Chains A and B, each alone.
Chain A
Amino acid sequence: MKAVERIAQHYLLKQLPKATAFADTKGILMDASDSWLDIFDIQAKASMDINIFELFSGMVENMDLQASLKDSTSHTIRHHKTTDQSEQWFESTFCPWFDETENLMGTIVQTDDITRLVEKELELERANYLLQAQSEVLNVGNWEYNVETEQLYWSEETKKIHQVPSSYQPDVSEAIAFYKQGYSRNKISMLFHQIMTQGTPFNQKLAIITAKGEERWVKAAGKPIKKDGEIVKVFGTFQDIHDKVMAETKTRENEQLLHTLIDNIPLNIFVKDLDSKKILVNKAECEYLGKKPEEMIGKSDFDLYDPEVAKTSRDEDLQVIRTLKPILGKETISIKKDGEYTNFLTSKIPLFDGEGKINGLIGISMDITALKKKEDQLRNLINITSVQNKKLINFAHIVSHNLRSHSANFSMLLEFLINEDDEREKEHILKMLSQASNRLLETLDNLNEVIDINTNVNLEKSPLNLHDNVVKVQQSLSALLEKNQVEIINKVDKDLCVSACCSYLDSIIINLLTNAVKYRSSERNPVITINAKKHDKHVVFSVSDNGLGIDLERYGGKIFGLYKTFHNNKDARGLGLYIIKNQIEAMGGSITAKSEVDKGTTFNVYFNEES
């Protein structure tokens, strides 16, 4: 009966779906299901020779299975089997086995194939590890809120971003309080409310104040998890984007700064590519050319300037591109298509790409037209001043010389007078003295006349008919002209006017005519030809005679000098030409002379018609 029972039991056991085995207290395998024996590759015949303690000792380290099983509790161990193809994982549970009187009879071993479970575990572990690594690298943390328990979970990275210890346990109100007061806190409150009530996901850039009081930019995102239409959880990511935001802000600020600078600097700035096509222009450049930026981008100088100017500019560009050396502060003249001139101080600087290869150039041009004009005016002024100065020095010498010669005569004559005893001789000396005094007065009058001309700054000029004025002078000099049988040919256009001071014009005509009469040749009948020609900015008035002429090579520098006479003529005072030269110059004009000895002389008076 016992045997039958045993066989029945054995038979039953053999077929158990779960791999099961029985062993006695010494570990001797008493019975086992086929499935169990399969797992351990044990032949059914040899099964009775197996000691399970020995069997497992090779699989489990650091564990005395035999000793552990003596305390009547169950134990579970994991073990694995490696074959050529695969690795199998098992879990064996050891349960104590008692008889009717509760005596420990042995152990029941149940073994499960847990390969798939272990694989899943490993996979999860790997996924977790990956997530952690990623979140550490990307500064992305995550969070989760359980609606039911009202518990908020923060990942390590999330805590790190908040600068709180790992032990920190946040709640929702604390979490919201981390956001910067104002916009960020209001926004997150609203977003959290919306996700909780309507399930609206969010992804928002916000500022927090960390536990250590630092302000940092973060990106908070949230998504709802629904179960049966109810929101049960909310989870999301939490990312530190502070450095990125700051870098972006910095970049934007730098860009803004550069833009503001380039656009508002009072210089024309442009960037050209290697084909000299404009790829950037600033406001000043646009205003100068009177075009919008989009009308200029991609255009070359040939599209915008006079062809010659464009060619010069292109040559400069090529020079910079070829030599890689900047052109700095070069004075250039730019002519726009409409013909407008501008003086520029231009610099062209090679522009390199990230690899140090030239890919264009930066041009900077300063409009110095006004400066140039000022410079010209200044140079003009310096010229005028130096001419004036020369005249003044010359005049001072004339004055000093003339006054000195008279005063010397006075001194000499007075000395004679003092030492003279002869009454008749005394009388003679006195006569000389009064003569000297008269000549001094006359000299002073002449000098005064010259000073008057030179100090009369605000000359009132008016348009005067040249022909009529010549006729008028002719009439006033009629006695002199008739006496010397002078023929006057007045070729002046009856409508021609010159801008001049009336009394000066009279003086000029009188002096030139009387001069021609004074220095007439005794061998010819005097003929004076008067003509005038209108030019762009002046009128040339010429008086030609057929008189004695003058050796200009010899006296050229002196003919307009004071008290210079060149002919043996009693009427010559050496004053007329000096006076009219001063008068003409005072009106902004000039006078020149051409002459050939014994042929005649031509004086050309240039009336300035500009101002």
Chain B
Amino acid sequence: MCILMKKVNSMFIVDDDPITVFGIKKMLKPVCICDDIQIFENGKEAVDALKNRLENGEDIPEVIFLDINMPIMDGWDFLEELISMDIKEHITINMITSSIDPLDYQKWSEFKNRCPHGLNYKNKPIFKIEISDLESIDLAS
């Protein structure tokens, strides 16, 4: 039995809901090998960590799972910060939300147009993570 596994160097999960974080980690297991998965409860923590990594020249996460509604700094503000950062590497971002507010979807499509990284939108509940969710075509290259 040969299952195609994706090798990911570094990955961020930004979500304040421990159950969702548990779910994402569990669903990643069959499709991905990653030794560096970091969890953040809100956007601010993730931004700080990212800045740190940039400064220290550490690995920039290839994939980010991002919740929208979080305290202190929500998903949108996180994206805003991310776009303003000087990151050469291409990142695949999966926005995971239980929101069915059409405004959120609209916001996402606006961000998608100006974000240099891959930006996906996934409505909860999710049951499976595909390998395709972990990579996206780098439009810049």
Contacts and interface: CB of A to CB of B under 8 A. Distances in A.
Given A413-B19, A567-B72, A408 B124 contact: yes
Nearest to A400: B100
B98 A415 contact: no
A565 interface: yes
Interface in A567-590: 567-568, 572, 574
Interface stretch (B20-28, B49-57, B87-95, B110-118): B20-28
A566 interface: yes
A45 to B, nearest CB: 150
B19 A397 contact: no
Contacts of B71: 563-568, 572, 574
Given A397-B101, A404-B100, A412-B124, A568 B72 contact: yes
Contacts of A405: 17, 20, 98, 124
A409 B127 CA distance: 10
Interface string B115-141: 000000000111100000000000000
A409 B96 CA distance: 12
A404 B126 CA distance: 12
Interface of A is mostly: helix
A564 B126 CA distance: 24
A416 B126 CA distance: 11
A404 B22 contact: no
Contacts of A568: 42, 44-45, 71-72
A436 interface: yes
A409 B101 contact: no
A432 B19 CA distance: 7
B26 A416 contact: yes
A412 B127 contact: yes
A401 B99 contact: yes
B69 interface: yes
A404 B42 contact: no
Nearest to B26: A416
Interface string B68-99: 01011000000000000000000000000011
A568 B48 CA distance: 13
A435 B127 CA distance: 19
A563 B127 CA distance: 26
Nearest to A563: B69
Contact of A412 (B45, B72, B100, B126): B126
Interface in A539-566: 563-566
Contacts of B45: 568
A448 interface: no
B100 A416 contact: no
A565 B74 CA distance: 10
A408 B20 CA distance: 9
Interface string A411-427: 11101100000000000
A409 B125 contact: yes
A566 B98 contact: no
Interface residues of A, number: 24
A409 B17 contact: yes
Contacts of A401: 69, 98-101
A546 B39 CA distance: 32
A564 B70 CA distance: 8
Q: Which of B18, B26, B100, B126 has the most CB of A within 10 A?
A: B26
Contacts of B126: 408, 412
A564 B72 CA distance: 8
A408 B67 CA distance: 14
A413 B23 contact: yes
A571 to B, nearest CB: 12
A415 B17 CA distance: 18
Interface in A368-416: 397, 400-401, 404-405, 407-409, 411-413, 415-416
Interface in A453-481: none
A435 B45 CA distance: 24
B19 A436 contact: yes
Contacts of A435: 18-19
Nearest to B124: A408
Contact of B22 (A408, A415, A432, A565): A432
A408 B22 CA distance: 13
Contacts of B127: 411-412, 415
Contacts of B124: 404-405, 408-409, 412
B35 to A, nearest CB: 21
A436 B124 CA distance: 15
A408 B72 contact: no
Nearest to B42: A568
Interface string B8-23: 0000000001111011
Nearest to B96: A408
Contacts of B99: 397, 401, 404
Contact of A565 (B23, B72, B125): B72
Nearest to A411: B125
Given A401-B69, A566-B72, A572-B71, A408 B98 contact: yes
B47 to A, nearest CB: 13
B84 to A, nearest CB: 15
B17 to A, nearest CB: 7
Contacts of A409: 17, 19-20, 23, 124-125
Contacts of A408: 98, 124-126
A568 B98 CA distance: 23
B19 A404 contact: no
A572 to B, nearest CB: 6
A432 B17 CA distance: 11
B39 to A, nearest CB: 15
Contact of B23 (A397, A412, A567, A574): A412
Contacts of A565: 71-72
A405 B71 CA distance: 15
Contacts of A407: 125
Contacts of A564: 71
A415 to B, nearest CB: 5
25 contacts: A397-B99, A400-B100, A404-B98, A404-B99, A404-B124, A405-B20, A408-B126, A409-B17, A409-B23, A409-B124, A412-B19, A412-B23, A413-B23, A415-B125, A415-B127, A435-B18, A435-B19, A436-B19, A563-B71, A566-B72, A568-B44, A568-B71, A568-B72, A572-B71, A574-B71
A-B CB proximity, top 8 nearest: A408-B124, A565-B71, A408-B125, A405-B98, A411-B125, A404-B98, A409-B19, A412-B125
Given A400-B100, A401-B98, 16 more contacts: A401-B101, A405-B17, A405-B98, A405-B124, A409-B17, A409-B19, A412-B19, A412-B20, A412-B125, A412-B126, A413-B19, A416-B23, A435-B19, A568-B42, A572-B71, A574-B71
